[in-house]
Structure 1
Amino acid sequence: MRRLLLDTRPLHVSPAYRRLWWGLGLAQIGTMVTQVAVSLEIYEQTSSTFAVGILGIAALVPLVVLGLYGGALADAFDRRTVALVSGVVMISATVGLVVQAALQLEQPWVLYLLVAIQSAGSAVNVPTRMSIIPRLVGRDLLPAANALGTLTGSLGLTVGPLLGAVLAASVGYAATYALDVVLFGFALYALLRLPAMPPGTPIAAAPGLPAAGPGSDDVAAVLPADPTAADGEPAPRRQAGFAAVWEGLQFLRTRPNLRTTFVLDIIAMVTAMPRVMFPAVGAVILGGGETTTGGLTAAIAIGSVLASALSGGLGRVRRQGVAIVVAIVAFGVCAVGFGLSLMAAGRTSPSSLLVPVAIVAGLFLVGAGAADAVSAVFRQTVMQSATPDHLLGRLQGVFIVVVAGGPRLGDLVLGSAATRFGEASAAVGGGIVCILAVLAVAFGQRGFLRYDARHPTP
């Protein structure tokens, strides 16, 4: 049984990683608390769903625009410093939310501006801290570390929205945002305790190595900085402008295995992520309204939590390309099953929840969440293992852009398909397209199917 449960070795071999894991896990809950509270505050001020939707644009645009550049900063400067500075930007925006709520400004544009600033900080912070992880745990424990990260992210998605809604209704917006400030403080503390991570610091091949020197005695896998990059080649000259971003994109263009991980994720999110259908499903198919919508959303997060909790065997998987393909095909199969369950229910606008059908639909979404979590663990691991360290920040930036933009593009595609053909048909058709497209890409990139974690090649 221990071989099936979550592999917690990264937490034991690297106290620095353990602090970062706890800090980021608490910060993730705070982020979701704020995300829900801002949506509620905007709606309270405007009584407009469209105004709430603009929040997504305010957050997405800085994330996409600065995601690539944030990765370039992580590669050009000390990653600890970049993560700290961008983290201060994020927490400052949250403090701004506290102040505007306490002063009862009731100006939607202030909320949009603060959300955009917070997202801009996140665009730099997220790829930077993700590129720190290999230096803390070594390549051998990356699958376990990524599974641990997926677990905390999924728990944040499960607990944060509920907590945010309850707090906003009971103690008000200012106190709710203040909780996010406190929780994010744990992440800043964990980043502050990290050793310096200048460009050229090599990644250890395995955890449990000797200490890196004064001030970093608790970091198991960080070695002293030297003038070579992680792949043994001389570290390139520091740069953080457009040329650096272009270098990262050119590297990705010529590395089929890395490129395939991004393509497969885009396929899954654009064709088969059914979340945009949930409000209509709750209103006219399964019944239950907003409660059903929340339950279906939670089902995906529950699947991700379960997959993370039972991820002990992922670290022993060597054919990680095959594992990604299998996981995304399973995601498509679950989308098809979800759509078929909706077809069985019909479009009847029931006065109460159709419990049996809702359970079946929810179980398929749990499966989809689990498959997506497994895919995410291996996609992240392939990228972190097969990318030279001096380019890892920029590739993490691309990863953030894809992860942020793919689901939103999927909302547009599947929302249009549901309007034209109905939610059930859109879900079934999207799942089938996902399966066929993934298999076509996989068999067109046979090298990806042969990818071996023991010999990572980009």
Structure 2
Amino acid sequence: METARSSDDDIEPTAADDDAPLGAGDTAPPPRPGWRRWVMDTRPLRHRPFRRLWSSTTVTAIGSQLTAVAVPKQIYDITGSSAWVGYASFAGLLPLVVFALWGGVVADRMDRRTLMLVTNVGIAITSVLFWAQSFAGLDSVALLMVLLAVQQGFFGMNSPARSASVARLVPADELPAAGALQSTVAQTGMILGPLLAGALIPVLGLPALYLIDAVALCVTLWAVWRLPALPPLTEGATGGAGATGGARRGGWRDVADGFRYIAAHRILLMSFLADIIAMVFGMPRALFPQLAAHTYAPWGEGFALGLLFAAIPLGAVAGGLLSGTFSRARRHGLMVIAAVVAWGVAITGFGLSLNLWWAVAFLALAGVADMVSMVFRGTILQAAATDDMRGRMQGVFTVVVAGGPRIADLLHGTAGSLLGARAAVAAGGLLVAVGTLGLAVAVPAFRRYTP
């Protein structure tokens, strides 16, 4: 197991660094000359521990999408019912929510590297079991749903530890750049993974997708194994407001402590509320099939549907590649507000578009805004929370990211049937813009927030 060294290649901020006020003595990095100021800031990759964590994310971003395509495809092949595909999605939601919240507590209580190792082993084993049942031709929907629930539980435990580790691996002024690097990789995986799955299924079959994901997770295990130890910075802390040393609980009272911590820190609360508003009212993916079949039918239903689903992640990747200015931005709260309002305006434009190409352009602009929002919301969670609370903040973040779009699916699906798809989309976008501006007016501290 490696320990942190003082070289630039293998830097891990010390406990004292983490406990110091983030931004105290930090200054914005000098602008890079010419066109380089616009392109992605890759300075975090100079630090070997972060480079290893990021490289493991790069590998699994595509591999996990292979499984994400294979599971609903296999369930549909067995049942011939889209309803069962939806049931399976919700079967994975509850364990994801429960274990993400609990995993955030555990990530604040134990070595985060150890937690990532254990949970990655669990995810890898479930991928092997996915392969085994598919290879054996068991055709059991119940087994698939159980495996999916178990895998989502392990993912829920893994995600807070992985995200909360970033602030220990890069300097504070590089957090926006680190967030842009990670988010860009994740969005790229959402584009390339399904495309690769579609190309491989006719050639290699579904079992191969599960097996490739399992092999990719072995690479992740190696990268995480090479990380330095990431133990709690305060040995006896319980994490509650005003807590003193004592036995670590690691139970649901600590989950409640996390929510109380959010409620007591308006900056954190506003970052979560902005994300909830954007996702619940402004994520219209449930209406993409209806719009492709009716509004954009002249371009070809299948072609239009593929473009609609790809447009947001394509815009997000483009935003990530042009994220060089992120590291120089100091008004992080204002950046979140502007990005979420831009998302709402773009979604409104999409809802009003009768031309497919204008619709794709507005969705791509929404993807750019989403990337900006993701980066600065993530940076706020890393910078505004103390290290003994970062795991729980990332656990709540995982729940919001996973649950928000599912609530949006229900809300937009219902509104689309009552108002029509385009009206529901446009109204949702307007609600996002108005609601976010209302937050900005109600809490001036958020729009003035700097790390």
Whole-angstrom distance in 2 between the partners of 1:268 and 1:228: 33
1:333-386 superposed Cα distances (whole Å, 9 cap, x missing partner): 101110110xxx3xxxxxxxxxxx111100000000110110010000001001
Q: Cα–Cα, structure 1 residues 169 and 389, in superposed 2: closer, same or farther, change >3 Å? A: same
**Alignment partner for residue 8 of structure 1, among 42, 51, 57?**
42
Whole-angstrom distance in 1 between the partners of 2:98 and 2:304: 35
The amino acid across from 1:286 in the alignment is: Y
1:36-66 superposed Cα distances (whole Å, 9 cap, x missing partner): 0111111111100001111211221111111
Whole-angstrom distance in 1 between the partners of 2:252 and 2:280: 28
**Does the 8 Å contact 2:180/2:320 carry over to 1?**
yes
Q: Report the Cα offset of residue 23 of structure 1.
A: 1.1
Q: Report the Cα offset of residue 298 of structure 1.
A: 0.5
Whole-angstrom distance in 2 between the partners of 1:180 and 1:87: 12
The worse-fitting range, judged by mean Cα deviation, of 180-189 and 326-335 is 180-189
Scaled by the length of structure 2, the TM-score of the pair is: 0.89
Q: Cα–Cα, structure 1 residues 305 and 236, in superposed 2: closer, same or farther, change >3 Å? A: farther
Aligned partner of 1:326 in structure 2 is 338
Aligned partner of 2:20 in structure 1 is none
**Does the 8 Å contact 2:237/2:246 carry over to 1?**
no
Aligned partner of 2:268 in structure 1 is 258
Aligned partner of 1:17 in structure 2 is 50
**Alignment partner for residue 55 of structure 1, among 84, 88, 104?**
88
Scaled by the length of structure 1, the TM-score of the pair is: 0.88
Whole-angstrom distance in 1 between the partners of 2:279 and 2:434: 14
Q: Are 2:379 and 1:381 aligned?
A: yes
Whole-angstrom distance in 2 between the partners of 1:412 and 1:440: 24
Q: Report the Cα offset of residue 236 of structure 1.
A: 6.5
1:183-232 superposed Cα distances (whole Å, 9 cap, x missing partner): 1222111111111111117xxxxxxxxxxxxxxxxxxxxxxx99999x9x
Aligned partner of 1:37 in structure 2 is 70
The amino acid across from 2:193 in the alignment is: G
The amino acid across from 1:299 in the alignment is: A
Aligned partner of 2:404 in structure 1 is 406
Whole-angstrom distance in 1 between the partners of 2:220 and 2:414: 39
Q: Are 2:413 and 1:415 aligned?
A: yes
Alignment identity in percent? 41
**Does the 8 Å contact 1:329/1:438 carry over to 2?**
yes
**Alignment partner for residue 314 of structure 2, among 302, 306, 310?**
302
1:259-311 superposed Cα distances (whole Å, 9 cap, x missing partner): 00000110011111111111011111101223321211101000000000000
Secondary structure in 2 matching 1:2: helix
The amino acid across from 1:360 in the alignment is: W
Q: Cα–Cα, structure 1 residues 320 and 416, in superposed 2: closer, same or farther, change >3 Å? A: same
Whole-angstrom distance in 2 between the partners of 1:426 and 1:265: 19
Cα-Cα RMSD? 1.8
The amino acid across from 1:132 in the alignment is: S
Aligned partner of 2:329 in structure 1 is 317
1:107-139 superposed Cα distances (whole Å, 9 cap, x missing partner): 111111111111000000001110111111121
**Alignment partner for residue 357 of structure 2, among 350, 356, 359?**
359
1:159-188 superposed Cα distances (whole Å, 9 cap, x missing partner): 011111222222111111111011122211
Secondary structure in 2 matching 1:312: coil
Aligned partner of 1:246 in structure 2 is 256
**Does the 8 Å contact 2:184/2:321 carry over to 1?**
yes
Whole-angstrom distance in 2 between the partners of 1:441 and 1:334: 19
Secondary structure in 1 matching 2:450: coil
Whole-angstrom distance in 2 between the partners of 1:278 and 1:226: 50
Whole-angstrom distance in 2 between the partners of 1:450 and 1:367: 25
Q: Cα–Cα, structure 1 residues 276 and 228, in superposed 2: closer, same or farther, change >3 Å? A: closer
Aligned partner of 2:156 in structure 1 is 123
Aligned partner of 2:277 in structure 1 is 267
**Does the 8 Å contact 1:77/1:238 carry over to 2?**
no
Whole-angstrom distance in 1 between the partners of 2:245 and 2:39: 39
Name structure 2 gaps, 5 residues minimum. Answer: 1-34
The amino acid across from 2:294 in the alignment is: V
Q: Cα–Cα, structure 1 residues 449 and 236, in superposed 2: closer, same or farther, change >3 Å? A: farther
**Does the 8 Å contact 1:17/1:133 carry over to 2?**
yes
Secondary structure in 2 matching 1:200: coil
Aligned partner of 1:283 in structure 2 is 293
Q: Report the Cα offset of residue 20 of structure 1.
A: 1.3
The amino acid across from 1:277 in the alignment is: L
Q: Report the Cα offset of residue 235 of structure 1.
A: 6.7
Whole-angstrom distance in 2 between the partners of 1:128 and 1:176: 26
Q: Report the Cα offset of residue 234 of structure 1.
A: 7.2
Name structure 1 gaps, 5 residues minimum. Answer: 202-224, 346-356, 454-458
**Does the 8 Å contact 1:24/1:186 carry over to 2?**
no
The amino acid across from 1:198 in the alignment is: P
Report how many aligned residue pairs link the two structures: 414
Aligned partner of 1:339 in structure 2 is 351
Whole-angstrom distance in 2 between the partners of 1:437 and 1:175: 45
1:409-441 superposed Cα distances (whole Å, 9 cap, x missing partner): 111111111110111101111111111111111
The amino acid across from 1:276 in the alignment is: A
**Does the 8 Å contact 1:33/1:165 carry over to 2?**
no
**Does the 8 Å contact 2:237/2:248 carry over to 1?**
no
**Does the 8 Å contact 1:37/1:165 carry over to 2?**
no
Secondary structure in 2 matching 1:318: coil
Q: Report the Cα offset of residue 153 of structure 1.
A: 0.4
The worse-fitting range, judged by mean Cα deviation, of 376-385 and 166-175 is 166-175
